[in-house]
Structure 1
Amino acid sequence: MSELKENRTEYSTSPVQEQGIPTMQSIAAEARPTILSPVKSIQAHEIKLQGAFNVRDLGGYRTKSGLMVKKHLLLRSARLNHLTRSDIAVLTQQYHVGVDFDLRRPEEIQQMPDKPMPGVSYINDPVDTDQSFHYQISVKNNRKHYRSYIANERARKAYHHLFMTLLDRPVGKSILWHCASGKDRTGLGAALILYVLGVDGKTILKDYVASNDFLRAHNQKRIAILRENGASAGEIRHAKIDGGVDPTYLESAFDEINHEFGSVDEYIENGLHVTPEQQAILRKRYLE
């Protein structure tokens, strides 16, 4: 992988909690009028489970054309290694999950394998490799890492496969994709899917940064344990950065898209090899 420049666009390093939610300039230039008011709050998209966190249904988002993403078809989450029987029943019986698409590296899966779910096909297609996942956690390096999601051929193959799986979704079933915390690899996947479906950039970014809310309780427990064990201020700061997202991370990915491909549409078609005809099929299947 070629060395990536950290910034082609200058960003603030303030934590996301201290910023407003900006629009993404890279995807905000839209020809048609944008409907910005969501049908329901971001929090209402959450699927509350006992053994998993940051689990959400993308159904209910409004597109720029006035259509709506269908409910119970597109699910995003964090790791699924602690699912309870009740959780599995919710996912398979209420949300009709038919495919568990795991974006993690094999090493991660070996340490925390997903709980099998009856009738659910499991697919692993990692976004990262050990070679591409080598950045020390920091705001600056996280932006660089997001750029690698675009520049890295392994990542493009994984997201291509995710789109192809959306096209091949079993009838009457939903697709769930996830990584470890459901915020970075999963968050970019959700942003790309929502973009293809026609959701506006401001809503896409709101869905992305909402991981900070859905991960808050999990991260508070993690930090409490670190403090109890005498962690240093640097270790606590590292954990806080590692546990959340910043809007500039996603903006870095889209900035890299525009630099390498000229536009998001060109990236979808020529980087991920999802044809305009396939994109039209996706909109027909997942919008109402």
Structure 2
Amino acid sequence: MRTHRITQAAVAAVLLAGTVLVPPALAATPAGAPAASAEAGARAAAVPFTAATAKRAADGGYTLSWSSAAGSVSVTAVTSPDATTGTPVGTAPGTGSLTVPAGTLAEAGRWYFRLVPDSGSPLVVAERSLGIESARNFRDIGGYRTTDGRWVRPGLVYRSNKINSLTDAEQQRLLSQRLTLDVDLRNAVERHDAPDRLPAGVKYQVADVVSLSHGLRFHDSALMTLAEAIAAGLFSGSSDLGQSIGYPFMVNFVGADYAFRDLLTAVATNDSGATVFHCSSGKDRTGWSTAVLLTLLGVPRETVEADFLASNDYLGNPKAVELSWLRAAFDEVDHLYGDFDTYVREGLKLDDVTVAALRNKLLTD
């Protein structure tokens, strides 16, 4: 694809208008996702759970719910997503719910719940939030069902806002979840002003979404993208035109491609434990990164959008993000590449080996 160069002054005007400094959005059909087939249909049929969630109440108890064709489901609380034995907490119908009262389980770093149907494969679910008070948008991206009936594994990839103020106890909580890699999407000023506070042993990597180290290049006319983004923001009634501008530029700006490719490659190759990636608020650059990853894994668009909007709840701000911003990034993907698969291959330049590694690592039947 031909890229366009513009003057440094023009680039600065575009970026500082609220473009790449405030980023992210979501995506469409998964890169390289297998077409509907007998194999995919068989897999979907073999997975007994079509929905499952775990929610922690303010008092420390949990409410578990699920939908399944099984006759009954037995639930065991475990402290690791890979554990097969733990504390039995009850049995309920194939489609049902179960309450775990406060005080039933000890205060562990994090509880996972293993749902075991009377026929079919078990499924592990967990409350998404790790309860990191200094980083309220720190949450698991696992636990989502894909279009072919598989599930994104919990406990392997987290998204967050800045983590410069982690307490000692919060650091230990992250270590208890086997966190070994932190990927920072922020720019140089943000990293200098609020450096990450990490537990010893956690590797730190920068994937700066607005870095100019790869030149001042865009895939399409920056001025045209700017004008179209402003018009679309006004039409949608966006409360923040800077964000309406920023999301399409997350796709159009060549430097962002490198950052997102580095992030996804890091997730795919981190074999020593879990990965967290973050920006400042954990909603824009982090939001688009999450949307790209979940879409690549085959998570349906409506679920990706729901995860994006969840930042409003975690941050306690109903206007932290708007769906039109995310959709503007997806629209830019379609405009520049025609579809999401081509964006992954030609924009992010992820090879088939990395895409396969991500799916093999993060998906389970």
CA spacing shift, 1:37–1:54, aligned 2, 3 Å: farther
| Rounded Cα–Cα distance in structure 1 between residues aligned with 2:50 and 2:280 | 30
| Rounded Cα–Cα distance in structure 1 between residues aligned with 2:337 and 2:274 | 31
Cα offset, 1:138, TM superposition: 5.1
Deviations 1:122-170 (A, max 9, x none): 01121124899xx999523312110110011111100000011012103
Cα offset, 1:37, TM superposition: 5.7
Equivalent AA in structure 2 for residue 122 of structure 1: Y
1:253 matched to 2:335: no
Moved more, 36-45 or 185-194: 36-45
Cα offset, 1:276, TM superposition: 2.8
**Aligned twin of 2:135:** 52
Contact 2:27 2:329 in 1 (8 A): no
**Aligned twin of 2:339:** 263
Instruction: Give the alignment of 1:97-246 within 5 angstroms.
Output: 97-129=179-211, 139-171=240-272, 173-216=273-316, 219=317, 244-246=320-322
SS of structure 2 residue aligned to 1:160: helix
CA spacing shift, 1:246–1:37, aligned 2, 3 Å: farther
| Rounded Cα–Cα distance in structure 2 between residues aligned with 1:102 and 1:278 | 20
Question: Gapped runs of 5+ residues in structure 2?
Answer: 12-25, 57-126, 218-225, 231-237
| Rounded Cα–Cα distance in structure 2 between residues aligned with 1:153 and 1:209 | 26
Question: Greater share of strand residues, 1 or 2?
Answer: 2
**Aligned twin of 1:40:** 53
SS of structure 2 residue aligned to 1:39: strand
| Rounded Cα–Cα distance in structure 2 between residues aligned with 1:151 and 1:204 | 21
| Rounded Cα–Cα distance in structure 2 between residues aligned with 1:254 and 1:89 | 37
TM-score (norm 2): 0.60
Equivalent AA in structure 2 for residue 149 of structure 1: M
Once the two structures are aligned, what percentage of the paired residues are identical? Answer: 30
Moved more, 63-72 or 275-284: 275-284
**Aligned twin of 1:13:** none
CA spacing shift, 1:25–1:79, aligned 2, 3 Å: closer
Cα offset, 1:116, TM superposition: 2.4
CA spacing shift, 1:116–1:122, aligned 2, 3 Å: same
SS of structure 1 residue aligned to 2:250: helix
Deviations 1:39-74 (A, max 9, x none): 216883112113211011112111111111111101
Instruction: Give the alignment of 1:64-79 within 5 angstroms.
Output: 64-79=147-162
| Rounded Cα–Cα distance in structure 1 between residues aligned with 2:162 and 2:27 | 31
| Rounded Cα–Cα distance in structure 2 between residues aligned with 1:82 and 1:62 | 33
Moved more, 61-70 or 137-146: 137-146
Equivalent AA in structure 2 for residue 165 of structure 1: A
TM-score (norm 1): 0.75
| Rounded Cα–Cα distance in structure 1 between residues aligned with 2:333 and 2:29 | 10
Contact 2:144 2:299 in 1 (8 A): yes
Cα offset, 1:112, TM superposition: 0.8
| Rounded Cα–Cα distance in structure 2 between residues aligned with 1:160 and 1:25 | 15
1:278 matched to 2:360: no
**Aligned twin of 1:91:** 174
| Rounded Cα–Cα distance in structure 1 between residues aligned with 2:304 and 2:132 | 24
| Number of aligned residues | 240
CA spacing shift, 1:125–1:274, aligned 2, 3 Å: same
Contact 1:26 1:255 in 2 (8 A): no
SS of structure 2 residue aligned to 1:99: strand
Question: Greater share of helix residues, 1 or 2?
Answer: 1
**Aligned twin of 1:227:** none
CA spacing shift, 1:119–1:154, aligned 2, 3 Å: same
SS of structure 2 residue aligned to 1:118: coil
**Aligned twin of 1:231:** none
Equivalent AA in structure 2 for residue 40 of structure 1: T
SS of structure 2 residue aligned to 1:163: helix
Equivalent AA in structure 1 for residue 363 of structure 2: L
